[in-house]
């Protein structure tokens, strides 16, 4: 145990942290410059375009509410992925796990004859977590039991989950008389309360509360320490008594469960019905968020806010400046590559 | 439903023929991935390389009007992304899995941006497809002739290239070096083989093949482009490598088997009434992914990893003082 602990802390902690932050900031700057270049390629003017973007993201209470609506899933899913990635369990199936959570939570919120709102909401949220965790556990068991590559299985299961969701919306839980692909509305009592003026559901408090909890789990608990050991050197961790198979399944349950939670929030707090449009690839965006946040809890929150501002302000930017919205989708991808390089260079 | 419409005489040849054509993009990417993985690098950026190849090939073919130039451009962008993967994974030695995911994210974002920029609001721009070229004599062989020798030019070129890369890996000095650095990089290094250079070249080949796969997808098969046109084919290709146990010919065969299965499900879906059928079409649509999953699990369980390159995913660092 001590040998592994010593290996983890090879470099002085403080200088590592300073370099890591510097590398992140440099990558942010470079990515924004590339984003500016893309805007110029598209015939726009970067300064005013970024201005329109910021204004569209946080310029009014309603805009801020829109941005926070994205912060919720990005943060919740990103935290789970950060933890899993720390243990080198590369779950890229959060999109599917989110849809499974949305399906389970949403179905309950539609069908369960419970009149008491808080109870119904609690049950629907629990179902969402379970749905996501169950979907994630398939990947975990396959990897833990037979060593099947989790990156590919989790990715393939995304397609299956979304098709499953589509089927339910198209057939058993379709809104009667509605045009294409609209699922039934949830019971009124199941809708999450919203904060007046901001139009953001109370899931935002859950997302913010999860940040210190995740930080505590990662940094202060023996579980978090074992995850880091597993990620740093699986063999040494095994020797030190970490039960890696169990950990892999646990990490998939946690990251899948959090994705499911985000899915349930999307139904109960945003869409109000079973709606295939609850995610614009948020499960994939959360991968970016986890990586940009350098797999730390605070980092995930900051990255989630950053990416949410980009995406929510991007709409306003594209309307006002006449630029393609997809610019804001390209910036995070560029960002991750820069971060990988900057990170490596900072470590020397 | 009437099964003779699916596997009756005549129908079966069409089915296999379209299955083989459908499989080609994945087959190319999978053979490329085999080279990368045999050299010891797990390239999870394949989907991004395929997508970028498809996009660039389409744009060039659309504006220049030349399928040949489009294909070349598709290969070129694949090679560029292969170089990026090599720079990150081999030169900088950062975590291969993350590098791959980053390349997919990068390609998805940039192609979405450029597609919107170049084609405006157009959802699915199209180009005129290639016509099939019958190869004299060979095409008249019953069954096989129609399947293999009555396809478009890109198909023949692709097929030849896939076989060529398989031979390159199995029968040449370069192929031996690739396999050596993937099995035992330290030993290869001791024999004065440059591990870094071989892995770089393997990734360039892999990128080129994936880019070609993308070009074949849009220029030889779909004749259109839409956002995320690759639709998971790159990921399926990675699974096919495991299924084919890192043997390029088995990988190729696996890809065609997969293509056939998919053509079968499309046909069954059509014959049984499609979206209006009481049977959920989603089950058919999910089949390719479920089959890939099942086959990959089976291959992993049965293969017991002995076929997997020993140094797969491990960056090579010379021992200190060596």
- Model confidence over A198-223: pLDDT tens digits? 889 999 999 999 999 999 999 999 99
B293 within 8 A of B162, measured Cβ to Cβ: no
Q: What percent of chain A has pLDDT over 70?
A: 95
Q: How far apart are CA A310 and CA A249, in angstroms?
A: 34
**Bridge partners for B224 per DSSP:** B126
Which residues in B lie closer than 8 A to residue A151 (C-beta atoms)?
44, 97, 100-101
Out of A152, A330, A341, closest to residue B238 by CB: A152
A333 part of contact set with chain B, CB < 8 Å: yes
Please state the rounded mean pLDDT for residues A14-27: 79
Q: What pLDDT score was predicted for residue A4? A: 45
Note the ipTM here.
0.85
Dihedral sign for Cα atoms in the order B289, A180, A276, A331: positive
State yes or no: pLDDT of A165 exceeds 60.
yes
Min CA distance, B239 vs chain A (Å)?
7
Please state the rounded mean pLDDT for residues A44-64: 92
Q: What pLDDT score was predicted for residue A3? A: 45
- Of the candidates A139, A141, A142, which has an alpha carbon nearest to the alpha carbon of residue A92? A139
Q: What pLDDT score was predicted for residue B306? A: 66
Q: Which run of H or of E encompasses A315?
A: helix A297-321
Min CA distance, B22 vs chain A (Å)?
19
A334 part of contact set with chain B, CB < 8 Å: yes
State yes or no: pLDDT of A8 exceeds 50.
no
- Give B77's contacts (C-beta < 8 A, 6+ positions apart): B49, B52, B53, B55, B56, B211
Inter-chain contact A288–B300, Cβ cutoff 8 Å? no
State yes or no: pLDDT of A177 exceeds 90.
no
pLDDT, one tens digit per residue, over A269-280 is: 999 999 999 998
B89 within 8 A of B315, measured Cβ to Cβ: yes
- Give B267's contacts (C-beta < 8 A, 6+ positions apart): B5, B6, B11, B15
Q: How far apart are CA B300 and CA A251, in angstroms?
A: 21
Which residues in A lie closer than 8 A to residue B235 (C-beta atoms)?
152, 155-156
Which residues in B lie closer than 8 A to residue A284 (C-beta atoms)?
105, 108
Inter-chain contact A147–B300, Cβ cutoff 8 Å? yes
Q: How far apart are CA A181 and CA A172, in angstroms?
A: 12
State yes or no: pLDDT of A7 exceeds 60.
no
3-state secondary structure of A174: strand
Q: How far apart are CA B150 and CA B156, in angstroms?
A: 9
Please state the rounded mean pLDDT for residues A6-26: 68
Q: Which residue has the higher pLDDT, A206 or A31?
A: A206
pLDDT, one tens digit per residue, over A255-313 is: 999 999 999 999 999 999 999 999 988 999 999 899 888 899 999 999 999 999 999 99
Min CA distance, A207 vs chain B (Å)?
24
pLDDT per residue, tens digit, chain B (322 aa), is: 667 777 676 778 888 888 888 899 999 999 999 999 999 999 999 999 999 999 999 999 999 999 999 999 999 999 999 999 999 999 999 889 889 988 998 999 899 989 988 998 788 899 887 777 777 777 777 777 777 777 888 888 899 999 999 999 999 999 999 999 999 999 999 998 999 999 999 999 999 999 999 999 999 999 999 988 998 899 999 989 988 889 999 999 989 988 888 888 888 888 877 666 778 888 888 888 898 899 888 888 876 566 788 888 888 887 644 3
Rounded to two decimals, the pTM is: 0.88
- Give A13's contacts (C-beta < 8 A, 6+ positions apart): none
A315 part of contact set with chain B, CB < 8 Å: no
| C-beta neighbour count of A108 within 10 angstroms | 25
Could you list the beta-strand ranges (E) of chain B. Answer: 133-134, 150-151
State yes or no: pLDDT of A69 exceeds 90.
yes
Q: What pLDDT score was predicted for residue B24? A: 94
Q: What pLDDT score was predicted for residue B321? A: 41
Instruction: Provide the 8-state DSSP code for B316.
Output: P
Q: How far apart are CA A146 and CA A103, in angstroms?
A: 29
Q: How far apart are CA A282 and CA A259, in angstroms?
A: 10
């Amino acid at each position: 145990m001590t040998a592994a602990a010593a290996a983890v802390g090879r470099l002085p902690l403080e200088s590592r942290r300073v370099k890591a932050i510097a590398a992140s900031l440099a990558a942010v700057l470079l990515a924004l410059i590339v984003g500016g270049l893309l805007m110029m390629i598209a015939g726009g003017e970067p300064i005013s375009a970024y201005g329109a973007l910021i204004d569209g993201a946080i310029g009014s209470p309603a805009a801020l509410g829109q941005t926070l609506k994205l912060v919720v899933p990005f943060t919740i899913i990103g935290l789970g992925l950060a933890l899993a990635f720390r243990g080198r369990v590369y779950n890229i199936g959060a999109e599917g796990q989110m849809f499974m959570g949305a399906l389970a939570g949403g179905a309950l919120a539609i069908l369960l004859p419970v009149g008491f709102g808080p109870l119904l909401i609690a049950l629907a949220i629990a179902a969402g977590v379970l749905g996501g965790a169950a979907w994630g556990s398939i990947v975990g068991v396959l990897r833990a039991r037979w060593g099947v590559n989790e990156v590919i299985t989790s990715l393939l299961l995304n397609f299956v989950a979304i098709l499953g969701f589509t089927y339910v919306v198209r057939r058993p839980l379709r809104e009667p008389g509605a045009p294409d692909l609209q699922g039934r509305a949830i019971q009124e009592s199941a809708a999450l309360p919203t904060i007046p003026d901001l139009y953001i559901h109370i899931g935002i408090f859950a997302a913010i509360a999860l940040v210190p909890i995740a930080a505590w789990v990662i940094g202060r608990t023996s579980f978090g320490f074992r995850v880091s050991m597993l990620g740093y050197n699986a063999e040494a961790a095994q020797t030190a008594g970490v039960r890696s198979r169990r950990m892999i399944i646990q990490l998939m349950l946690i990251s899948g469960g959090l994705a499911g939670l985000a899915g349930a929030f999307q139904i109960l707090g945003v869409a109000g019905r079973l709606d295939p449009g609850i995610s614009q690839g948020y499960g994939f965006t959360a991968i970016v968020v986890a990586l940009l946040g350098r797999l730390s809890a605070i980092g995930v929150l900051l990255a989630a806010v950053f990416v949410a501002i980009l995406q929510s302000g991007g709409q306003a930017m594209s309307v006002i400046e006449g630029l393609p919205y997809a610019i804001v989708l390209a910036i995070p991808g560029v960002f991750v590559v820069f971060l990988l390089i900057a990170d490596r260079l900072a470590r020397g | 439903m009437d099964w003779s419409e699916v596997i009756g005489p005549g129908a079966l040849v069409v089915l296999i023929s379209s299955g083989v054509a459908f499989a080609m993009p994945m087959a190319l990417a999978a053979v490329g991935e085999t080279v990368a993985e045999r050299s010891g690098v797990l390239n999870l950026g394949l989907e991004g390389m395929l997508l970028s190849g498809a996009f660039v090939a389409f744009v060039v073919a659309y504006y220049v009007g030349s399928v040949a130039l489009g294909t070349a451009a598709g290969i070129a962008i694949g090679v560029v992304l292969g170089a990026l993967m090599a720079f990150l994974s081999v030169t900088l030695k950062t975590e291969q899995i993350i590098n791959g995911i980053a390349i997919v994210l990068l390609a998805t974002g940039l192609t979405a941006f450029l597609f919107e920029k170049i084609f405006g609001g157009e959802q699915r721009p199209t180009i005129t497809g290639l016509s099939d070229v019958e190869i004299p004599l060979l095409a008249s062989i019953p069954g096989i002739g129609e399947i293999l020798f009555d396809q478009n030019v890109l198909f023949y070129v692709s097929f030849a290239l896939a076989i060529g890369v398989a031979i390159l890996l199995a029968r040449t000095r370069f192929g031996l070096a690739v396999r050596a650095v993937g099995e035992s990089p330290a030993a290869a290094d001791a024999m004065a083989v440059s591990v870094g250079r071989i892995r770089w070249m393997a990734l360039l080949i892999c990128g080129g093949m994936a880019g070609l796969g993308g070009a074949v997808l849009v220029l030889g098969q779909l004749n259109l482009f839409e956002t995320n046109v690759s639709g998971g084919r790159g990921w399926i290709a990675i699974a096919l490598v495991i299924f084919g146990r890192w043997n390029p010919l088995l990988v190729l065969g696996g890809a065609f088997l997969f293509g056939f299965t998919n053509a079968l499900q499309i046909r069954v879906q059509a014959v049984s009434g499609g979206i209006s059928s009481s049977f959920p079409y989603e089950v058919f649509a999910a089949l390719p992914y479920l089959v890939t999953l099942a086959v990959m699990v089976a291959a992993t369980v049965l293969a017991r990893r002995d076929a997997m390159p020993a140094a797969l995913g491990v960056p090579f660092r010379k021992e200190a003082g060596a």
